Amino acid sequence: MIQARNLTKTFGPKVAVDGISFTLEKGEVLGFLGPNGAGKSTTMRMVTGYLPPTSGEILISNLNLATRPVAARRLIGYLPENAPSYSDMTVEGFLRFAANMRGLSGESAKRALGRAVELCFLQPVLHQGIETLSKGYRHRICFAQSIIHDPDILILDEPTDGLDPNQKHEVRSLIKSMGRTKAILFSTHILEEVEAACTRAVVIDRGRIVANGTPEDLKARSPEAGAITISTSKPMDSALAGLAGVRKTSQLENGRLRIYPVEKLSSAELVAGLLAAAQKAGVDVYDIRIEEGRLDDVFRSLTISDTKEVRP
Amino acid sequence: MNPALTIARRELAGYFQSPVAYVFLVIYLLLSGFFTFMVGGFFERGTSSLEAFFIWQPWLYLFLVPAVGMRLWSEERRMGTLELLLTMPVTPLQAILGKYLAAWLVIAAALALTFPLVLTVNYLGTPDNGVILAGYIGSLLLGGAYLSIACLTSATTRNQVVSFIVSVVVCLFLLLAGWPPVTDLLVQWADPAFVQLVSSLSVMTHFQSITKGVLDSRDVLYFASVIVFCLFTTGVILRTERAN
């Protein structure tokens, strides 16, 4: 649905986006991760046709955004950063305007409005002026605007920004369920969001893609990924002494021990070896698990470095 | 419905939901009345015409029209809705025309509300209603030209006050360019051809020739070209703004 090739955007001497390419298919939820100022919003603004790229090409459903902008934008629903809306209008008036702009009128506009209002829980404030409403409501109003024409492609810039935890949860499940039938691109700097809603994630740092994969792929890059955390009745030192395949160990709080396997050995094999060794040494195992790795470790290692370039 | 009309309708509703339109209408009508009757000497003239009314239009519009137009784009830029608007399936031209049309309709509504003046002169005497009609057309064109300038300046800034002041200054320049004190000053040192050029840029000469009842195509063309030029430039500004 979206093909972006070599997108570059410069603002004067500043390179905001530096050769980003990605594709997005129907049924995918692609998360854009990155620190503030990494170029996430700029990329989204280019994909929605707001900012013309300095170079590069964007195809929306095989329509070239540069030559067929209106036809391409028809397919997209967009929630810009900070969720702007016309604050002098009522919620209903604003959503009707959005529906009309999308070519819906009369009965079909009414249905679209009803559906969007229901999905975004806007019923209680439908007739209120937008300027009187809280940030959470305004956010959902703009979100409702983006889905009012049931677009094939949804582009959401920080869709959960400014929402309370319950609302965050609702929006995430909404994204996840809509992701089955649409192509969704959303940006966030909340890592749990990526795990909760994305089928694939792209990490962007200083205008470049530094990683691209499923959340599991990304987590597997964490130094903790595949390590085993074990909690036992007494210290494991003697049991570990004779065990092959241990690269290093580190003591955690509460007497837990983290054991890193050597690269050749799978974590499951090490678990089996550990359990056998513990039994032989007469140590009771209370708890044992394989670490999945933590996304924020990966995020930090990919984006923090100012000197060395991390490439996928 | 055409997206330009959807935008115009929203914009028009915006004017009437906020105090802008009402303040504009009331102040315009009050000032029009004051200038027509007290300063213009409507009754003392002893002629059944609306000259005393139309003569003040360029000066009233000088402040009131930029006040209507200053929010057109700067408000969108300030609230961030520009991004929303221009990522909807609409061409920038449609968006510009839609918003411009709405603001022009507010000015047209204000003009239409001066109808009691027309009734009054028709009651008191037998005016040439063709001249009056020409005066209204001229006023509408004049308002449209000022408005297109305000539209242009508001596209350059997110600050409405800046937008207002700059458009007043530009309108004032166009207004004074053909004013005798200015042309007399220019004549003393400039080439007559240059004076001719400057005064032909003036809204005053074109406006006055229309209000005399002569709907010359050159005058209409002048206003039309000011409007087209300004709206086109608005489009260019909005585009370069995003490109850089």
A185-224 pLDDT, tens digit per residue, is 999 878 888 888 889 999 898 889 988 888 888 877 777 7
User: Which has the minimum average pLDDT: A171-185, A238-252, B62-76, B92-106?
Assistant: A238-252
- What are the tokens at B201? 């840029």
Identify the contact set of chain A against chain B, taking CB-CB distances under 8 A.
11-12, 45, 48-52, 69-71, 73-74, 76, 78, 80, 82, 84-89, 93, 97-98, 100-103, 105, 142, 145
pLDDT band at A307 (very low <50, low <70, confident <90, very high): very low
Cα B103-B105-B108 angle, rounded to 5 deg: 120
Which whole number is the average pLDDT over A23-46?
Answer: 90
Quick check: A244 pLDDT over 90? Answer: no
Chain A residues in contact with B244 (beta carbon < 8 A): 11-12
pLDDT band at A310 (very low <50, low <70, confident <90, very high): very low
pLDDT band at B91 (very low <50, low <70, confident <90, very high): very high
Which whole number is the average pLDDT over A145-157?
Answer: 94
Share of residues in chain A with pLDDT > 90 (%): 43
Question: In order of start, what are the domains of chain A with their CATH numbers?
Answer: 2-220 (3.40.50.300), 228-290 (3.30.70.100)
Quick check: B149 pLDDT over 90? Answer: yes
Chain B interface, mutation test: which of A81, A101, A138, A148, most B Cβ atoms within 10 Å? Answer: A101
Quick check: B79 pLDDT over 80? Answer: yes
Quick check: A175 pLDDT over 60? Answer: yes
